Copies of this chain bind each other. A is one copy, B any other.
Amino acid sequence: MDLSSFASLVSFVSTHNEFFVAFVHCRIRYSGRAEAELDWGDRMIVLKQDNALLIHQPVNGNPINYIKPGAHISVFREEGCVIIEGAHPQTNDVVLCEVSSVYDAMSRRLEDGRKQLLAGTEADMSDYIRDNPQVISSDFTPLSREEHTKYGFIDVFGHDKQGTLVIVECKRYAASLACVTQLRRYVEKMKELRGTDNVTGVLASPKITPNAQAMLSDWGFSWARVEPPKRLLINRHQKTLADW
C-alpha cells in the first residue's frame, strides 16, 4: 500500500470508528509519563474503535507503545513518510509513529457487545470463605465481606468464639510481604478506631512465601490455605473439544 493511501485510510478509520491494523516499517517517539524512543523496525499498528492506539513488535506479549482509548489521532503526510500522532487529552501522553513503508493493512467495523464471564477472582474467594468459614478456622464466624469501611477495603470480616475480631485478606496467588503489610494496615486501623487490641488478621491464599510467613507470625497473624474457586470448569487435561 502506498503512503498516501495509508494516510487517507488512517484518517478515515479514526473518524469513522473502524478497527484498523497494519504491518509497517516505522520508528516511534513517546512523551508523557515517561520519554521513550524506538528506532526503525517492522511493527504492527492497531487502531481500535474507541481510538486506542497499540504498536506491537514481532515478539513479546505487550505493546511496545500505546495510547489508551480516547486518543486524538492526527495524520501527517510528509516527504517519504507518514506520521501518525496519537495524543491523549487526559493523560498528556503523545506517541509519534513515523511510517516509511506499509506492507499490508486492513480495516473493518467490528460488532461485539459481549462481556467476559470470569471465575476465580479474589471476590470469588471471599464469597467462598463467607460460605465455608471453616477454611479459616474451626471457630471463625464471618460477619461481612467485600466491605469498603473506614478501616479500608476488607475482604472478609468476622470474629472467633473468644470475641476476637478477625480480618481476612484474600490473595489468589502466592502471598508476599506486601500482602502482609496490607493486612497489618487494616488490623492496626481497626484497633485504633475501635480502641482495642483484640483484633487479629488472617491471610487466605493458595501459597505464601517464607518471608511473608515469618512476618505474619511476627505479628501474631495466621495463614489459611485457600484456593480461588473456579466455577466455569474446563477439563484442563482434555486437549480435544468433544464436550464443548
Residues of A within 8 A of B (CB): 19, 21, 23, 28-29, 31-44, 46, 48-50, 52, 54, 56-61, 64-66, 68-69, 74, 76, 78, 83, 85, 87, 92, 94, 96, 98, 103-104, 106, 108, 110-121, 172-173, 177-178, 181-182, 184-185, 228, 230-234, 236, 239-241, 244
B236 touches A42 (CB 8 A): no
CA of A103 to CA of B49, assembled, Å? 16
Tell me the nearest residue of chain B to A232, going by C-beta: B35
A234 touches B116 (CB 8 A): no
Report 9 cross-chain contacts, Cβ distance below 8 Å, ordered by A residue.
A23-B108, A28-B116, A29-B232, A35-B118, A54-B61, A61-B68, A78-B241, A92-B236, A177-B185
CA of A76 to CA of B83, assembled, Å? 41
A119 touches B236 (CB 8 A): no
Residues of B within 8 A of A19 (CB): 23, 44, 58
Name the residue in A112, A113, A116, A232 with the highest tally of chain B Cβ atoms < 10 Å from its Cβ: A112
Query: Given A118-B34, A120-B34, A50 and B56 touching (CB < 8 A)?
Result: no
Q: Per a CB cutoff under 8 Å, which of B41, B114, B231 touches A39?
A: B114
B59 touches A49 (CB 8 A): yes
CA of A178 to CA of B178, assembled, Å? 8
Residues of B within 8 A of A33 (CB): 120, 172-173
Known: A46-B56, A57-B112. 11 other contacts (CB 8 A): A21-B44, A31-B230, A31-B233, A35-B232, A38-B115, A38-B116, A41-B112, A42-B110, A49-B59, A52-B60, A85-B241
Query: Given A43-B112, A57-B112, A68-B61, A96 and B52 touching (CB < 8 A)?
Result: no
Query: Given A29-B234, A85-B239, A231-B35, A50 and B54 touching (CB < 8 A)?
Result: no
Residues of B within 8 A of A172 (CB): 33-34
